[in-house]
Amino acid sequence: MASAPRRVVITGIGITSPFGVGTAALSEGLSMGRCALKTLEGRLAMVPPGAGGSLDLPRKEYKDWFDTRVLRLSTMTRQTQLGCIAAGDLLKGMGLWPDGTLHPDKGAFLGSFIVPPDFRKQVRAVRILSRRPDGEDRGFVQDDTRLGEAMKMASAFDFLRALPNMPSSHLSIQTGFQGPACTYLGSDASGLQALGMAVQVIRRGGVTAMIAGGAFEPFQEVHLAWQSQRGLWSNSDLPPEERVRPYSTRAGTLPAEGGAVFYLEERDAALARGATILAEVTGYGQRFVTPGLDPDGSVRSDALKATGVASPDWIAPTGLGRPDMDALEVKAFQDAYGDDLGGAAALLATPWIGFSGPATAPLQLAAGILAARGELTPQRGVRGEPAPGCEAMATALTRSGRTGAGATLVASCFSLDGVHAAVGVRVEA
């Protein structure tokens, strides 16, 4: 007879957000309703939406979160850095700072997104090598005499940074985890996918613990322009702090960078080492649909029902800020839990920290766990006229949910790419 799946618990949370590093910064910022969104500077100010949220952390402080002699910054994209800082925050908070020990029974999954690399150095190299022939008003020739100067612009690490698997690879090096490693890419749901698949690995007995979550940095001109074409950003003339209003008649959101990672453990292993259990994972669901289809939301509601939470006390939805997707999301929650969303209280972080792609749902999950544990008091209300079809979510955003042991939460991400994921948890004391 097959043995029962192992129970999986969350014993640590690591955060990087525009509020700063750590759960305390996230909890304080959201409880106070402090907006971290601001007008962008330089080239990014010229690309819609021209505003967003970023983490202000000097590079010299990165060493407080990971060993920069081992994880060289020259091999890391910004989203890899955000993930490793979040992991460092998690490990420090748990008293598990890496000491060189290797762990074949632990692994690392991280959700992110492929963003076109920044080619500024390569463009400068081409400009150095190329010149217009004397006396000509068109055309360029290559000047090999300047090759040495141009080569100073190039680095062998440029290729390493662009490899899709680097975020989880760096996490594995940072922690000494030698078990499964995977970077989930391709949609805004990949952060929850990484977490859900990590849960599945532990349940099957493949490992005893995983670090999993999402990290992302959207501030690249091509990516911002692409998301703008998809109708995601708010391009109004309002100040940044007034531009993000999901589920309201004021559509649009603003980009942000951030990361949230969770320490997932097999329950018996966590108890054996005397760990503080924050919450137990009740279930995980993921569903796929061709973008633009399934207008009745059945695929999305199926993902919610797979979380194992029949009547949540809290829900942490996507809050994409695109009217059609917001309405579909609300309908899915109604299909899963009833017209009034089962009386659940809803929580949103995006109006204060922005939309950070694959990191959005993990950040929402983290905020939801803190709220359900009574460590965060979220701001109430949709802050604007509810959009058609979103009235039930607007009401849920005014509610206060149950806190303490036994409180349940469902966090979800319904992406524009047709990938939908949801995770359910039950809080412990």
pLDDT single digits (tens) 222-247 = 889 989 998 899 988 899 999 999 99
The per-type count for the chain, helices as H runs and strands as E runs, is: 14, 15
* pLDDT beneath 50: ranges in the chain: 1
Nearest to 269 by CA among 3, 5, 9: 9
Q: pLDDT at position 136, please?
A: 78
CB atoms within 10 A of CB 419: 22
**341/335 Cα distance (integer angstroms):** 8
Helix (H) or strand (E) holding 394: helix 391-396
What does the H/E/C string look like for 84-129? Answer: HHHHHHHHHHHCCCCCCCCECCEEEEEECCCCCCCCHHHHHHHHHH
**30/377 Cα distance (integer angstroms):** 7
Q: pLDDT at position 119, please?
A: 63
Tokens of 292: 């633009």
Quick one: how far is CA 107 from the chain centroid? 19
Quick one: how far is CA 347 from the chain centroid? 16
**49/236 Cα distance (integer angstroms):** 8
What does the H/E/C string look like for 314-370? Answer: EEECCCCCCHHHHHHHHHHHHHHHCCCHHHCEECCCHHHHCECHHHHHHHHHHHHHH
Tokens of 227: 């998301």
Q: pLDDT at position 295, please?
A: 62
Tokens of 155: 């680095």
Q: pLDDT at position 257, please?
A: 97
- Residue 26 CA: distances (Å) to CA of 112, 363, 376: 20, 9, 9
Tokens of 220: 């690249």
CB atoms within 10 A of CB 397: 24
**Please, are residues 217 and 77 in contact by the beta-carbon 8 Å criterion?**
yes
Domains with residue ranges and CATH for the chain = 8-114+164-427 (3.40.47.10), 120-158 (no CATH)
pTM of the model: 0.92
